[in-house]
Amino acid sequence: MRRLAILTVKDEGAFVLEWLAFHRSIGFTDVLVFSNDCADGTDLMLDRLQEMGLLAHVPQAGPFPKGPQWAALNAAEGHPLKTAADWVMPLDIDEFVTIHLGDGSLDALLAAYPQATAFALTWRLFGNGGVIGYEDAPVTTQFTRAAPPGMVWPWRASMMKTLFRNDGSYARLGVHRPRQPDPARLDGQLWIGGTGAALPARYFRTGLYTQPSPEQYRIAQLNHYALGAMESYVVKCGRGRANRDASTFDMSYWVERNFDTVEDRSVAPAAARAAPLLAELRADPVLGPLHDRAVAWRHTRFKALMRDEPFRALFGRLLLTAPTRPMSPERLAIFLHHARRAAAETVAPPAGD
């Protein structure tokens, strides 16, 4: 059974080996990676990994009117690995599929729900943990504190990404879920959420969020290490957004993700299983030096950005800002009151507009 992960990267060479070793170890048989405009040698690392048979690499050249990630997903539609895959999941370099069944593998997940056609894995937002300087160490061991389950706001705390059966039920790939469903195939769909329960039929057509619940990570979650060290976040801001060309990050992005409310080390067994492959990749005579080059590039890039006042000011704000706390019930009630009132007052445009 072929399970395909699709990844888009730019200047992420320092993180590629950990991400690849982890996802190969949990059961992704194929990895399709698109790179664009890399200055840190990520593309060279991907070329070497392709030579080793561990992934397929497709370099992209801009411009990207809708962002490089959308260009990559459109290109992936016709790739032989996508055609041959039984299961497909687009992922980002800061996302790690974490399964809480059996041995933590895709095999365990699929065996537990043999009739499932899709798994909606909810993000678990991992905070910065007060780490200032970027270090060359696995993100899965550096950042171990996260948002609690069941958090209603920010909405992205319940945002999902989808591992789906590649059986023709959907015509197009999407960042968070497959798109353009075939109406004739929808009756046979069975989408499973992180609670282990079947999702309502509306998810067959649309939906980017799962219902907040204390049990929303019971069988699986998608660890989202979106921030990393403060220095690394500044470098990320200097790069821009993968699915929004020329769009930058800011403090709102940071504040809506920087939760350190609870400790979560549930990824540790899978990371330990991936460690031998990661060590093997780091020892490769080509990959090892390229990895070190990417790490050095990241340090150099941060120093260069510190010469620019807007990025220096951003770094100062990161140093000033305490970890984000979930809203109290009282504050959440105030926020939801305004959200519901706004929704009720929204007037649909006249037909034909």
Identify the CA nearest to 118 among candidates 165, 83, 176: 165
Q: What is the pLDDT of residue 274?
A: 98
Is pLDDT of 247 > 60? no
Q: Which residue has the tokens 């998810």?
A: 203
- Whether the pLDDT of residue 219 is over 90: the answer is yes
pLDDT above 70 covers what percent of the chain? 95
Tens digit of each residue's pLDDT (9 = 90 or more) over 111-145: 999 999 999 999 999 999 999 999 999 999 999 99
Domain ranges within the chain, ordered by starting residue: 3-345
Instruction: State yes or no: cis peptide before 285, omega within 30 of 0.
Output: no
> Taken in order 105, 107, 108, 112, is the CA torsion positive or negative?
positive
**How far from chain centre, in Å, is Cα 38?**
19
- Give mean pLDDT, residues 79-97: 98
Residue 244: what pLDDT? 42
pLDDT at 239: 81
pLDDT given for residue 250 in this prediction: 80
Residue 105 has φ and ψ, to the nearest 5°, of -105, 165
Q: Which whole number is the average pLDDT over 202-206? A: 96
Q: What local confidence, expressed as pLDDT, does residue 351 receive?
A: 46
Q: How confident is the model at residue 309 (pLDDT cuts 50, 70, 90)?
A: very high
Q: How far apart are the first and last CA of the chain?
A: 47
d(CA 67, CA 87): 25
**Poorest-pLDDT segment among 110-124, 246-260, 290-304:** 246-260
- Residue 77 pLDDT exceeds 70: yes
**Predicted TM-score of the model (pTM):** 0.94
Asked if residue 348 has pLDDT above 80, the reply is no
Confidence (pLDDT) at 65: 82
> 328 exposed, middle or buried (CB, 10 Å; 0-12, 13-18, 19+)?
exposed
In the structure, what pLDDT confidence band is assigned to residue 353 with cuts at 50, 70 and 90?
very low
The model's pLDDT over 172-200, given as tens digits with 9 standing for 90+, comes to 999 999 999 999 999 999 999 999 999 99
pLDDT tens per residue across span 324-338: 999 999 999 999 999
- The pLDDT assigned to 352 comes to 43
The percent of residues above 90 in pLDDT, for the chain, comes to: 91
56: confidence class by pLDDT, cuts 50, 70, 90:
very high
Res. 242: pLDDT tops 70: no
Average pLDDT along the chain = 94
- Report which of 352, 98, 53 is spatially closest to residue 216, judged by C-alpha positions: 98
* Alpha-carbon gap, residue 63 to 118, rounded angstroms: 33
> What per-residue confidence (pLDDT) applies to 246?
38
The pLDDT assigned to 349 comes to 52
Task: Record the tokens describing residue 351, joined without a space.
Answer: 């037909």
